[in-house]
Structure 1
Amino acid sequence: MSEAEIKRESVGTVVIAGAANLAIAIAKLVAGLISGSAAMLSEAAHSVADTTTEVLLYLALRRAARPADTRHPFGYGKESYVWAFLAALFTFVAGAGFAITHGVTTILVHEHTGNYLASYIVLAISFVIESISLARALRQVRTESRRWRTTPHRFLRFTADTTVKAVFLEDSAALIGLLLAGAGLGLSHLTGDELYDGIASILIGILLLVVAGILAKSNISLLVGRAVPERLHHEIERELACLETVARIDTLMTMQLGPTDILIAAKVDFHDDATGADIEAAADEAERRLTERYPEIAYVFLDPTRSLPGAIGTRARRTQDEQGRPVDQGATGQS
């Protein structure tokens, strides 16, 4: 799948999710106002938050797709994380805040009109629509995970395409929220006690808090300048080390510049008998190999350098692992 196809797939996933959430939000709001159910109104707020999120994610994709210019030579890829972070923040404040507040109010006041039929119908229809949206997001996750030769779980954990991650998590949370709303509504209907409706509303709010927190953390990490996953780092390192004129990869640094752009910078110790022409040819070969294998690699910078005294092997030095623990600078084993 080409980079353009990946972008179109992400845009399609976001647009479909946004349209579904908008229709569901209106239906939930009407049903919530008719029934007076806190859980239904919380679900309406949930869908409104998701719809706003999809609009922001669509904006993120469009803004990030702008070409590089003199003021932004590496492009606008990181801007997508700004809008995605704002989307997570909106979910945190508007969706979770309303759901928890309204749930507490319902428990304290115990007000309900007792009209449940409209809520049950909307919940059922919403579940079907959300399932369709989630199925599309899941299809994209599986396609992308196969392309990166990893599992869907690891892809979602490490992907730099936070729009796909956001849609998948939000659609999953939406289905769980519908089940919670249905359970709270049903228990309140059976017992006549609005406590269960209020508890369901609070649980929906907590669910939104968890999703917003995960997405906010991921986008902050990418904004700061996250490296590629460890497995990909080692594969890039091996490709560079296989070049004939390379004696050692002294330091290898990577950074996600956007959902589909990766920057690679390495200090490389070439063999002492390598000429300037040999080094230039090796740099060209390195870029060709890496971009052929991983089209997302947009920039490859190699800095010829002498290895530090006592350095052994061809493995690149790293200052710390993914958990922040110091790594032996002369280690040659895979971390």
Structure 2
Amino acid sequence: MPCAFPGERVPRFTPTARCEPHRPGQSAEVTGTSSNQKADRTSDQKADRPSDQKADRKTRVTVLVALAANLVIALAKAVGGLLAASPALLSEAAHSVADSMNEVFLLAALRRSRRPADRRHPFGYGKERFFWSLLAAVGIFVMGGCFSFFQGVEALRNGAEEKFSGYVAGLVVLGVALLAEGGSLVRALYQVRRQGGGMDGLRDPALRTVVAEDGTAVLGVTLAIVGMALHMVTGQVVWEASSSLAIGALLVYVAYRLGREARDQLIGEAADVESSDRIRALLAAQPEIDSVEALFTMKMGLDSLLVAARIDLVPGLDSERVEEVAVRIKRSIASIVAETGQIFLDVTDRPAAEAAESPAATGERGGA
């Protein structure tokens, strides 16, 4: 069936276009060269919408700003940590190195996820964005969290020798790092606000990762400053070791949250409840639809949603009428949920009571 999008005229089928007869439970198929080509062109245009490209450019700038800040800060923290023999400062250096590598992953995600669909990947490469975000989460856990735990445990076990000569320089480095990380966080939050604020502004996993990294960095630097200051005042390394352990715990938590979100999106996360409810309500309001037996949705990328619905039509509709109804429904779904990319309608005579047992039909976890 042809899929129309907002602002597009519904295509008129050539005389050869027809709705093939189908058995119960089989999707209705629409044939016709001109309509299929039109749908393909529309899909390609949708994948390269100017608004998506503009959002990608803004996200790329945000990632580059964070990368530049982290590279400079990582070097400064490493030098200061070695001079002061500070476990907290070395933990923060590892944190910044991990963040820098993660920004490289995110830049790769921005470039590779926008590749057009091909024969091997007919739904496109949108999910590659989620894959690179998962690698970034693993990097935060391994390079940041684990190294911070190691530094904290080593300081507690060995009772690190107190060297105060470089601590003033270390605190200065952390102060500069706090300003730089804060500036990067403000830049990321500004973009979130420009993209709708709240969860709408954080739909992009790359931008969400940058916000999480910068927010964690600001909190981590604050913990390191507190630990170093208490170490200098009390002369007890336990304070700085504790701050290093706290930084490690913070990084592990952030990595877990980011990794869980990326995992859900990779294995096939459904659309948000609001979008699913809008689609279901639209289908139920169509006079030609007797019942909506099941609705399935899956995120195929940042701005790409797959929608599949099993519907039962009222009796007495001929093939041409079924075709017209399908075109109108697809156009309507795309108009109320702009990120809709692929829409499949399955017309079935299966009893609604049987289909209602599906999690997708009831709205339970795993379905829309």
TM bin (shorter chain): 0.7 to 0.9
Name the counterpart of 2:181: 130
Say whether 1:189 aligns with 2:232.
yes
Say whether 1:165 aligns with 2:216.
no
| Offset of residue 310 of structure 1 | 5.0
Q: Report if aligned partners of 1:3, 1:296 keep a CA contact under 8 Å in 2.
A: no
Unmatched segments (≥5 aa) in structure 1: 147-151, 328-334
Name the counterpart of 1:149: none
**SS at 2:316's partner residue?**
coil
Name the counterpart of 1:180: 223
Partners of 1:44 and 1:243 in 2: CA distance? 59
Match of 1:89 among 138, 144, 156: 138
Name the counterpart of 1:113: 163
Match of 1:139 among 173, 190, 198: 190
Percent pairwise identity? 37
> What is the one-letter code of the residue matched to 2:65?
I
Call closer, same or farther: CA 1:240–1:20 in 2, change over 3 Å. Answer: farther
| Residue deviations 1:164-200 (CA, integer Å, cap 9, x gap) | 2211111111111011001001000111111111111
1:246-325 aligned at under 5 Å gives the runs 246-306=289-349, 308-309=351-352, 318-319=361-362, 321-322=364-365
Partners of 1:160 and 1:74 in 2: CA distance? 19
Call closer, same or farther: CA 1:214–1:166 in 2, change over 3 Å. Answer: same
Name the counterpart of 2:25: none
Question: RMSD of aligned C-alpha atoms?
Answer: 2.4
Q: Which has the higher contact order (CA 8 A, sep 6+)?
A: 2
Partners of 2:265 and 2:162 in 1: CA distance? 45
Q: Report if aligned partners of 2:113, 2:127 keep a CA contact under 8 Å in 1.
A: yes
Name the counterpart of 1:330: none
**SS at 2:361's partner residue?**
coil
| Offset of residue 306 of structure 1 | 2.4
Say whether 1:76 aligns with 2:125.
yes
**SS at 2:211's partner residue?**
helix
> What is the one-letter code of the residue matched to 2:109?
A
Residues 105-114 or 225-234, more deviating: 105-114
Call closer, same or farther: CA 1:132–1:239 in 2, change over 3 Å. Answer: farther
Name the counterpart of 1:204: 247
Name the counterpart of 1:331: none
Count of equivalent residues: 315
Name the counterpart of 2:284: 241
Q: Report if aligned partners of 1:250, 1:317 keep a CA contact under 8 Å in 2.
A: no
Call closer, same or farther: CA 1:111–1:276 in 2, change over 3 Å. Answer: farther
Q: Report if aligned partners of 1:160, 1:222 keep a CA contact under 8 Å in 2.
A: no
Call closer, same or farther: CA 1:73–1:312 in 2, change over 3 Å. Answer: closer
Partners of 2:240 and 2:62 in 1: CA distance? 32
> What is the one-letter code of the residue matched to 1:138?
L
Name the counterpart of 1:98: 147
| Residue deviations 1:259-299 (CA, integer Å, cap 9, x gap) | 22110011122222333222222222223223233332111
Residues 257-266 or 128-137, more deviating: 128-137
Call closer, same or farther: CA 1:56–1:317 in 2, change over 3 Å. Answer: closer
Structure 1 residue ranges (4+ consecutive) displaced by more than 6 angstroms after TM superposition: none
Say whether 1:6 aligns with 2:49.
no
Residues 292-301 or 49-58, more deviating: 292-301
Q: TM (normalized to structure 2)?
A: 0.79
Partners of 1:249 and 1:6 in 2: CA distance? 35
**SS at 1:181's partner residue?**
helix
Call closer, same or farther: CA 1:57–1:217 in 2, change over 3 Å. Answer: same
Task: Tell me which structure has the larger Cα radius of gyration.
Answer: 2
Q: Report if aligned partners of 2:66, 2:184 keep a CA contact under 8 Å in 1.
A: yes
Unmatched segments (≥5 aa) in structure 2: 1-49
| Offset of residue 160 of structure 1 | 5.0
Say whether 1:54 aligns with 2:103.
yes
| Offset of residue 73 of structure 1 | 0.1
Call closer, same or farther: CA 1:271–1:65 in 2, change over 3 Å. Answer: same
> What is the one-letter code of the residue matched to 1:165?
R
